[in-house]
Amino acid sequence: MIYTGAKAQIASIDLDAAADALVAADWRGCVSRWNLSDGALRWQTGIDTTRGQAVLLDGPRVFVTTAGGRVLALDRDSGEALAGVDGVPTCNGHDALARCGELLVCFGDAPDRSGCVTALDADTLGPRWTRTVGERFRGASEATAYVIPHRYDGRAVLRAIDPRDGSLRWERPCAAVPVAVDEEHGRVALGESAWTAFRPLDGLTADGPRVARGAWQPEPARFSPDGSQLAVHDGFSVAFFDVRSGTVRPSRMRHTKNVGPVRWSPDGAIVYSGGWDRAVRAHPALP
């Protein structure tokens, strides 16, 4: 399946299988919503003169951030703007938005270009707390906000932020850049340009097996729902890393330009990728 009609390079995607909804924000400040089942474009709306950055489906609403520092709530079925707030530090990140309990957690850039994590009330978009961190952001989950360094300078540190109050739960040095966190199974994917490794959350500097193929920022990576595979960009396509065996297998489908964000279906059967070719493609997961 191919989902077309976006106005520019895809910045972020999310999906809700139960609602038959796939949404994407693009770099022209436009949000598009398709039917997940047949690829029909349901609606499209301009949200900002700057580019769209992160998008999150949350029940009947679509949350989206923009490069202009706006966070908006749109109606999932019509695209109508329901609420909005300005002045929130945002950044160009595929995982820059997460629902953590009653809060909406946004990752962004502070004025000095350091990382900034902001929590908003998910119902009113009112501010709850803001925390500045040393590195630019990456990553979040429903239980913990993980601050993943944007670049690797030999001193990568993974930080865990408590979404309830913004306090630092812990920080741990890493042997390489963390590219994805699987909190449920206690696992982190570490990557360099030439190799990828999977380590437990409490052993991020430990020696162990490496896969002779890189999973590298700034492009995203995503663990499958059962934690058995890691989907990463692979040039114009997607590659699947088997966590247990260390094997890497490419997808059979390709974009015509580079791949950006990736998302798994809830059942782990499909990976959706947004590309620089303004399309979202569905890749059947490999057995």
The pLDDT score that the predictor gives to residue 49 is: 59
Q: What is the band of 168 on the pLDDT scale with cuts at 50, 70, 90? A: confident
Which structural domain range is residue 255 located in? 188-287
Stronger pLDDT, 21 or 131, i.e. the higher one = 21
Pick the range with the lowest mean pLDDT from 43-52, 165-174, 270-279.
Answer: 43-52
Q: What pLDDT, on a 0 to 100 scale, did the predictor assign at position 18?
A: 93
- Computed on alpha carbons and rounded to an integer, the radius of gyration of the chain in Å comes to 18
Specify the higher pLDDT residue, 95 or 67.
67
Residue 52 confidence (pLDDT): 62
Read off the CATH number of the domain in which 239 is found: 2.20.25
In a domain, 22, yes or no: no
CB neighbour burial string for 72-104, b if at least 16 within 10 angstroms, e if fewer: bbbebeebeeeeebeebbbbbbbbbbbbbeebb
Question: Considering its fold, how many domains does the chain have in total?
Answer: 1
Q: What is the pLDDT of residue 37?
A: 95
Residue 246 has pLDDT above 50, yes or no: yes
Whether 221 maps to a domain, the answer reads yes
pTM above 0.85, yes or no: yes
* Mean of the per-residue pLDDT values of the chain: 84
Indicate whether 248 belongs to any domain.
yes
Percentage of the chain beyond pLDDT 90 is: 34
Closest CA to 251 of 267, 231, 266: 231
